[in-house]
Amino acid sequence: MALDLAQFHEAFFEESNEALDSMESALLKLNVGSPEPELINTIFRTAHSIKGGSATFGFTEVASFTHTLETLLDELRSNRMHVSKSIMDLLLKTVDVVRDMLRAVQTKIPVDAQRIADLQFDLEVAIINKPSLESPVAAPIAPHTVAAKQASSGASGVAWLISFKPYPQLFAHGNDPLRMLRELSDLGVAEVVANYSQVPSLQDLDPESCLMSWDISLTSEVTRDVIAQVFDWAEGDCHLDITEKQAAAVDQVMTEDDLVVNNVVPIKAPAKSNTEASEGNRQAVGDSSSIRVSIEKIDELMNTVGELVITQSMLGQLGTRLEGSTAEELRSGLAQLERNVRELQESVMRVRMLPISFVFSRFPRMVRDLSHRLNKDIELKMTGEHTELDKTVLEKIGDPLIHLVRNSVDHGIEKPEVRKAAGKPVIGTVHLDAYHKGGNITIEVKDDGGGMNKERILAKARDRGLVGATDVLTDDQIYDLIFVPGFSTAEVTTDVSGRGVGMDVVRRNVKELGGSIEVRTELGKGSRFVITLPLTLAIVDGQSVAVGSETYIVPLTVIIESLQLKQSMVNLVAGRGEVFRFRDEYLPIVRLHQMFGVRPRATNLTEGLLMVVEGEGRRVGLFVDDLLGQQQVVIKSLETNYRRVEGVSGATILGDGSVALILDIPGIIRVGTERMAA
């Protein structure tokens, strides 16, 4: 029965896209001039793997295109051409095209064939007109010639005997045996004997069939697995035999004539030591320490653990009401169960956590392209790339960060001549930073550009009728205007920015993640956007509060302080309703029972409690009947199971089986202040 390769397609597409990200990252690290061997090898292996996989699965267009790309990379890798700016631009374009081609194959949609053909032609032209290095390099290896003498003495290690006998269809699957032989040069000192006894006369020769075979003697310190990796994509298209010979020293010097007579082709070892090559390839091959699991399975596991947390909480409450000789033993067992459930919960959460480098990795290319288009010199700095957060949060924070970085590059960083005139470095800096703070993750986008002109922002807002002619706004309120839909201070609309459709999206997406965003700027010195997000959207640490017969959960991260009011602390202010004095400022009071239509146990402000909370830079006092206790709760989507409710971010099931709403504090503040102003 033939093997159905379609079952492997999804894994191939995922791995190829990850490999393309790595390839793009390596390309951005290349410097103009001589190729850097390790970076070029990384890029080459990515192209080689995608080509081999595409050929195996029958994606011929992808295999053909990446074969041309691989040829150019081999020229770089063999030091037969150097890296120029035009070559780097060309290679970055190929990453985009290969990514689009894979997406087209995966989704079964047409691809821009002309764009692919044009770029493939450009690659071929670059190979033909390659800018050669100033230093002479060895010519390509030919089957029966030796380009230069090689004297190897004192090379030691394991002697491997490799028999490589391709089947005729090897070429049709995108494999190049000569390139595989060259790859062995990364591993040590190799000698190759070509066998062409099966090659027919020229008139009978089929150029698409591989009829030669090779016997290779390799002296190296690498393992068998490392050697086998060179022939990975030829598996099933060749007979491969790798046997180990006793370690020996290669101390015989062979002349060029000896090599030609014996039909032996030496493959020159790279500049780096065999030990370095061995270590690098061991890391590349090594034992697999991870498996690929679909996010749906992780979500199911997380949901099951959430239900287990709820059940454990119910049992814990039941255990507190039991009496008798076994009650204490039962409570002890329940306490142990609680610890085990918490450890299980944390373990599952760690499975969902990914480093933010998955998002940050897209920005070096974006900043490079934008800065070139805008004729600006910009350096991108990234720190905290290993900071981890939930996969769901990670996926949704990408778009807001793209808007912020684009704004920093376009609006924030000045033109080089403007920076020079202001006594600033000609090269501007955009800095992405991520770190944990107070149970949350904070992401900052900073630039050392011109900062924001609050007078200009205020004037624009007044022109549009967003602010009254006599209204007095604080600095924070002025800068907050940039998040109003459609607001923009750009004088010229471009394809980069200026349409006012970015910052409102940023705030909305951040709010949907239960986070907040702040703006800090100084004219002439730059701006900083600070995004604060929860580590996960699945679980929240909260404070339970009672309002009448209902229980609500307030996230701990938004709570400033809880206090009991005295009548002298409360005032009535026109247009703001009830306010109270808190640390030299007056804050509005939001009565939760009025917001949710609940009959409270206390209506007098001096009889209940006031919880000071903060959201989106604004503070209010929430009036509740009582505080019940802190607990970790599993979030259930209210929108999925019911509908969206303003001021509510979700719901949870308490230990007694009742449902408690989890409050969305920014939404509460917004609705509460709107009602007061009405």
**Are both 269 and 367 inside the same structural domain?**
no
Chain length of the chain: 678
Which position has the higher pLDDT, 656 or 276? Answer: 656
**Are both 622 and 636 inside the same structural domain?**
yes
**Are both 543 and 669 inside the same structural domain?**
yes
Which position has the higher pLDDT, 551 or 567? Answer: 551
3-state DSSP helix/strand/coil percent for the chain, to nearest 5? Answer: 45, 25, 30
Of 317, 339, 354, the one marking the end of a domain is 354
In a domain, 141, yes or no: no
627, β-bridge pairs = 545
The share of the chain scoring above pLDDT 90, in percent, equals 8
The pLDDT of residue 54 is above 90: no
Backbone φ and ψ of 489, nearest 5°: -105, 5
Find the CATH number of the domain harbouring 498. 3.30.565.10
> Which range among 139-153, 385-399, 480-494, 609-623 shows the weakest confidence by mean pLDDT?
139-153
Which pLDDT score is estimated for 145?
31
**Top-confidence range, 99-103, 387-391, 576-580:** 99-103
Task: Using DSSP bridges, classify how beta strands 577-582 and 378-383 pair: parallel, antiparallel or unpaired.
Answer: unpaired
In a domain, 454, yes or no: yes
**Are both 559 and 512 inside the same structural domain?**
no
Find the CATH number of the domain harbouring 67. 1.20.120.160
**Are both 521 and 548 inside the same structural domain?**
no
> Which range among 87-91, 297-301, 558-562 shows the weakest confidence by mean pLDDT?
297-301
Q: How far is Cα 165 from Cα 215, in angstroms, rounded to an integer?
A: 8
In a domain, 559, yes or no: yes
**Are both 185 and 248 inside the same structural domain?**
yes
In a domain, 490, yes or no: yes
Q: How far is Cα 37 from Cα 203, in angstroms, rounded to an integer?
A: 41
Which pLDDT score is estimated for 528?
92
**Are both 40 and 111 inside the same structural domain?**
yes
The 3 state secondary structure assigned to 253-302 is: CCCHHHHHHCCEEEECCCCCCHHHHHHHHHHHHCCCCCCCCCHHHHHHHH
**Are both 400 and 522 inside the same structural domain?**
yes
The pLDDT of residue 668 is above 50: yes
Measured CA to CA in angstroms, residue 212 lies from 195, 260, 601 at distances of: 6, 18, 91
In a domain, 26, yes or no: yes
The pLDDT of 567-576, averaged and rounded, is 74
Asked whether the whole model's pTM tops 0.75, one would answer no
Which pLDDT score is estimated for 268?
39
Of 534, 554, 572, the one marking the end of a domain is 534
Find the CATH number of the domain harbouring 598. 2.40.50.180
**Are both 315 and 274 inside the same structural domain?**
no
Which position has the higher pLDDT, 486 or 527? Answer: 527
In a domain, 147, yes or no: no
**Top-confidence range, 287-296, 329-338, 493-502:** 329-338
**Are both 185 and 244 inside the same structural domain?**
yes
The pLDDT of residue 383 is above 90: yes
In a domain, 112, yes or no: yes
**Are both 522 and 607 inside the same structural domain?**
no
Helix pair angle (9-29, 85-107), 10° resolution: 170
* Residues of the domain holding 177: 158-281
| Number of structural domains found in the chain | 5
The pLDDT of residue 280 is above 80: no
Which position has the higher pLDDT, 525 or 298? Answer: 525
Which pLDDT score is estimated for 42?
83
Of 255, 281, 307, the one marking the end of a domain is 281
In a domain, 383, yes or no: yes
431, β-bridge pairs = 381, 446
**Are both 86 and 38 inside the same structural domain?**
yes
Q: pLDDT confidence of 529, banded at 50, 70, 90?
A: very high
Structure confidence by residue, pLDDT tens digits, 612-662 = 988 777 788 899 998 888 877 778 777 776 777 788 888 888 777 788 888
